[in-house]
Amino acid sequence: MDQILILLIISGFISYSAWIFSTINTNKIGTQIASGAMFIIVLLLLWRVFQLNLDFGLVLSIATLFAGLSWIVGLILKLKSLISESGSYFWILLVILCIRSFAYEPYQIPSSSMEPGLQVGDFVLVNKFAYGLRLPAINKLVSKGKEPKRGEVAVFLPPHTLCDSTPEEARPELSSMSIRDSQIFLSRFLSLQEARCTTLGIKYIKRVIGLPGDRIEIKGYELFINGNKVKQELLDKSSEESLYLETIDDIDHIVRTLGISEYENFVWDVPPNKYLVMGDNRDNSLDSRAWGYFSKENLIGRGEFIWLHWGSFTELPHFQRNKRIQ
Q: Which residues are catalytic?
A: 113, 206
- What are the two backbone dihedrals, phi and then psi, of residue 253, each rounded to the nearest 5 degrees? -155, 160
C-alpha closest to that of 294 among 227, 208, 218, 217: 208
Which residues on neighbouring strands pair with residue 302, listed in sequence order?
A: 127, 154
By CB neighbour count within 10 A (0-12 exposed, 13-18 middle, 19+ buried), where does 320 fall? exposed
Alpha-carbon distance of 130 to 301, in angstroms, equals: 6
Q: 155-181 burial string, b = 16+ CB within 10 Å, else e? A: bbbbbbbbeebebebbbbebeeeeeee
The total of other beta-carbon atoms located within 10 Å of residue 215's CB is: 13
Q: Which of 295, 296, 299, 298 is nearest to 172 (CA)?
A: 295
- Burial degree of 222 (CB within 10 A; 0-12, 13-18, 19+): exposed
Which one-letter DSSP state was computed for residue 56?
Answer: H
Burial of 189 (0-12, 13-18, 19+ CB in 10 A): buried
Look at residues 155, 158, 138, 156 and name the one whose alpha carbon lies nearest to residue 200.
138
CA distance 218 to 257: 13
Q: Are strands 294-295 and 215-219 parallel, antiparallel or unpaired?
A: unpaired
